[in-house]
Structure 1
Amino acid sequence: MSKPSLQLNEKQVAEWIEFRRDLHRYPELSFQESETAAKVAERLSEMGIRYETGVGGHGIVADIPGTEPGPTIALRADMDALPIQEESGLPFASARPGVMHACGHDAHTTILLAAAQLLTQQSFPGTVRLLFQSAEEINAGAKAMIEEGALSGVSEIYGLHNLPTLSAGKIAVCSGAMMGSVDRIEITLEGRGGHGAIPDQSIDPIVCASAVVMALQTAVSREISPFQPAVITIGSLQAGDANNVIPHRAVMTGTIRTFRPDVQRRMPDIIQRIVSRVADGYRCSADIQYIHQVPVLENHDECATHVEAAAKQVVGSDGLQQAEPTMAGEDFSVYLKQVPGCFFWIGSGPKENADQAFGLHHPRFDLNEECIPVGASMLAEIAMQRLFAITTPE
């Protein structure tokens, strides 16, 4: 395997691992990443990189200018943590109860900073733009940054996400659809409360809610082609407080995932029809809120090819894999609707039996820190290759 042309030395790797562990110990939820942003800003200042803070929440936009005019290539990392109680037992585990970097955004932030360090040591045409983003976990940060001009002048954008079920030292990428769309539904069913022993004098919203949950499954099994993946999951159902009382209302929330834009567009009407008609059959009224969040994440074919070329340089052909599609969502998809780009997986699991590792969003999630220098080399390599290729095409 050939050595990457852009590579952190051992001292730099150790320093960035220590930085990531500090971020891990002090996680912050979406749109609350003020301390994280301050630490990022401090490192950017030390590297002499100019930046703007407070973009789309606590986001940071920083530009590394080249030695001559050229295009702008954007690299993005997310910064927020999750409302999860950490159970990893790590010596640098979260010091904040109920908040954890269970998705590895602490590593993503570190990787982008480390890539910036590599890039400041190079000469290249054009500009590398660094996007440190808030609130990916609630699918709001990318939209907020775009609204405040983060993509202004950008030719292409690239981003990565660690994957603990993929061994560290491996890269997975694919063309086209890679991750599902994400929408949210909020359903309130109202009946008439009463005594649990006298159901005929009430209208039971719990029974209605049970029927709605089951009926919603037919939206996928009977209305969407089996060759067009879709998922409807009701994740919460709240109703009543006492065992012998029929409550007045039931409230449920759920997530809708699809893998094609046309299927995503069809879902609101399907959900509205099923819920309202089932509710009517059970004598309940239904209020349905369908909240669009992010589209299908679709990599641009040419950009995916560029990522593959960089991966072969950094990890070799043996380290490059075809990414398997997943219904998990990512608001990087919002950037890809604006400019060409590619999102890819970087292995963050153990070298052996990575498929048995605790996955993303698990309270015992543990990231293999060998992914940090690999990720830094990947982002820096992609930026350099694209800047020179666009500036001096064959």
Structure 2
Amino acid sequence: MPSNPPPSTSPGLRVQALDSLSIVLGMGTPYLALDRAKLETNIQRLRHRLGGTTLRPHVKTAKSVEVARLLFDGGTGPITVSTLAEAEAFADAGFTDILYAVGFSPDKVGRVRALRDRGVDLVVLLDSVEQVVPGIPALIEVDCDGHRGGLVPGDPAALEIARALGADLRGVLTHAGESYFADSPAALVAAAEQERLAAVTVAGDLRDAGHKAPVVSVGSTPTAHFAEDLTGVTEVRAGNFVFFDLVMAGIGVCRIDDLALSVVTTVIGHRRDKGWILTDGGWMATSRDRGTERQRVDQRYGLVADFDGELYPDLLMADASQEHGILALRPGSTETLPDLPIGTRVRILPIHACATAAQHDEYHLGDGERWPRVRGW
């Protein structure tokens, strides 16, 4: 988002000027706006937090080569992907150390081998002997909190998989997905330690049985920011942190002002009898994600800011149809609905950055630059 205007400038005139610039640049609404300064600040924050521990960023949030290069000072480095389309696109851009962190299946073998034949060290993820394919290196997935797939610590299947992999065993991986539902700093610290302990325990069991397990991979955006001990961990994965979102703000991982992503929409009508402002940005622009619904404060489909990034008090994107957004005051609010004439451009701050970004083909930066996103699977 553009910075706030200096004190000598009228905020209203500043917003109008920026809004006019977006129209001149041909940016019809809705579009996905990216604040590069906030993006870079978020990257530096996590780098500093991790110290010397390797960051293997998960590119599934941004799905952008340009964003990934900022993570490596303009170069390349180890990354995590969630689709083979991402792996192929990033390989084309020169990234050669890639972890495909979704359970491996037989239909993916040909594309994985093709990438490896190109010189890409593509590593897959599995939690059963049936998924082992000779010649394809893999990490064993560990379930640290019951969130998704993986083997719980102590499951003898880990040793069976290790024997089947042989020299193709790279180590273990876990993901504290339940940390997204933590509701206090103490709970986030505990989730990070639970994640770490599960991974290092299974890695230790493998080593005690004579297997090499050099990689111990952990990470989620919440635990990466709250881990107090990374003993035994070789790399941390996180993805959402580049943009952050209202889910992360709701559990205390970031501030609302840290959000680097927004969807710019235009006011197209009013229902004053209902207290509604209508926009041209529905769930096709912002997603159907309601990730704050289970939090103490439900932000519905997103918070609403003016074009300059200043939040309207208690104004929410309260509902959505495919191409219509409905803005309304938060239930119980004593604020006054803002007067937003037809044609006014506003920003919707995303509930879940990954889901919102996935609705768009590109990011629009404030200077007119556009960064494409990887699509497909």
Structure 1 length-normalised TM = 0.27
Instruction: Indicate the structure whose relative CO is greater, using CA pairs within 8 Å and at least 6 residues apart.
Output: 1
Structure 2 length-normalised TM = 0.28
Q: Which has the larger radius of gyration?
A: 1
